[in-house]
Amino acid sequence: MKCINCKERESANRRCQLCNSCRLKKWRKDNPKKVKAYRKMRYERDIKKIKAYQKGYQELNKEKFKESNKIKKRKQRLDGNYKFRNKVRAYTNNHIKKKDSCEKCGASKNLEFHHLKYTFPVNEEDVFTLCRKCHRKIHQKYDFAAEAVNQEQEESE
């Protein structure tokens, strides 16, 4: 007998008229508290296995993790004013007015500030209004910490 819900699989029980997959979906929908409790119970039961797996994965991929940490440290070292980022962001958000549209593509939604340099006091010429899409593209394209150092060297010459 075919399942009355999906009409593809055979129903396991003649009284229920649902296949195992549809019966399980229906039970999950009708019992969200039990589903949450079972999920929590399985997590607590398996947390040691999960931690062991994560540790093993990190051991197997040490080079990958070392490289990502090296990149983070290099960016922090190159960007001499790294510790001022939060201070600069707060100042920018409170004192500099965002333009009505993205300076790159002209979009008017999801606008964000882009800083060329994180220096304090903030120079308004180093802050641009960009939409989220353009802002993400710029950060994917360039290593701004290295670019900031290069600009400072050019300005000092």
Q: What percent of the chain has pLDDT over 90?
A: 11
- How confident is the model over 1-26, as pLDDT tens digits? 788 777 777 766 666 788 888 888 88
Tell me the pLDDT band of 145, cut-offs 50, 70 and 90. very low
Q: What is the pLDDT of residue 14?
A: 67
DSSP state of 98: P
Is 105's pLDDT higher than 60? yes
Average pLDDT, the chain: 76
CA 30 – CA 18 distance, rounded (Å) = 15
What's the mean pLDDT in 46-74?
80
Tell me the pLDDT band of 126, cut-offs 50, 70 and 90. confident
In sequence order, what E strands does 20-139 have? Answer: 111-115, 127-131
CA 18 – CA 4 distance, rounded (Å) = 6
Looking at this protein, which amino acid is placed at residue 136?
R
Is 146's pLDDT higher than 50? no
